[in-house]
């Protein structure tokens, strides 16, 4: 009786123990032979079982142009009403311009602090290295702020003329 149970269990356990390989490009498979895995540079996974979850394909949404004011989807993408897009662009430009003004003001303030900071040493800076450290931090802050201002100007240039 015990031998029969053992024989019945053997094929199912051998079938469930196929080698799983991790190949370059994060590809996991058990559908190749050991020789193919070696040729491809795959490594055998051991230990925890591998679980594969199949993702569901997104279903196309029905045309909802009458409800939202957008045109029907074409080629997998929803088209936006030109007036709505123009309003979005105007809002984006206004936000970027406000950020640019704020960053330019902060840059001017940092440049002023740097000019004053280089001119005077504080009482707690008896050590020249501390003075240099503070001045270098101010210079780095100015450089970061200049980069921020330049990035905002590039974003505004992408939006084009108002």
Give the per-residue pLDDT at 147: 95
Q: What DSSP designation does 76 have?
A: T
pTM (two decimals): 0.47
Phi, psi of 80 (to 5 degrees): -105, 140
Tens digit of pLDDT at every position of the chain (162 positions): 444 433 333 344 444 567 888 888 878 888 888 888 889 888 887 765 666 677 777 777 665 444 444 445 555 567 889 899 888 888 989 999 999 999 999 999 999 988 887 777 777 767 788 888 888 999 999 999 999 999 999 999 988 776
Give the per-residue pLDDT at 3: 41
- How far CA 31 is from CA of 12, 46, 54, 140, 154, in Å, comes to 17, 16, 17, 55, 50
How many whole angstroms separate alpha carbon 20 and alpha carbon 51? 11
């Amino acid at each position: 009786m015990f031998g029969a149970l053992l024989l019945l269990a053997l094929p199912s356990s051998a079938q469930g123990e196929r080698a799983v390989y991790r190949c370059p490009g994060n590809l996991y498979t058990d559908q190749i032979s050991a020789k193919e895995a070696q040729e491809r540079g795959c490594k055998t996974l051991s230990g925890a079982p591998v679980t594969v979850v199949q993702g569901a394909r997104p279903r196309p949404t029905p045309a909802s142009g009458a409800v939202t004011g957008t045109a029907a989807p074409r080629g997998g993408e929803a088209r936006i009403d030109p007036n709505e897009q123009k309003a979005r662009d105007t809002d984006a430009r206004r936000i970027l311009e406000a950020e640019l003004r704020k960053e330019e003001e902060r840059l001017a303030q940092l440049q002023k602090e740097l000019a004053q900071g280089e001119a005077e040493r504080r009482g707690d800076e008896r050590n020249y290295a501390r003075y240099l450290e503070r001045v270098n931090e101010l210079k780095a802050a100015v450089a970061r702020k200049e980069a921020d201002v330049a990035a905002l100007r590039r974003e505004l240039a992408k939006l084009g003329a108002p």
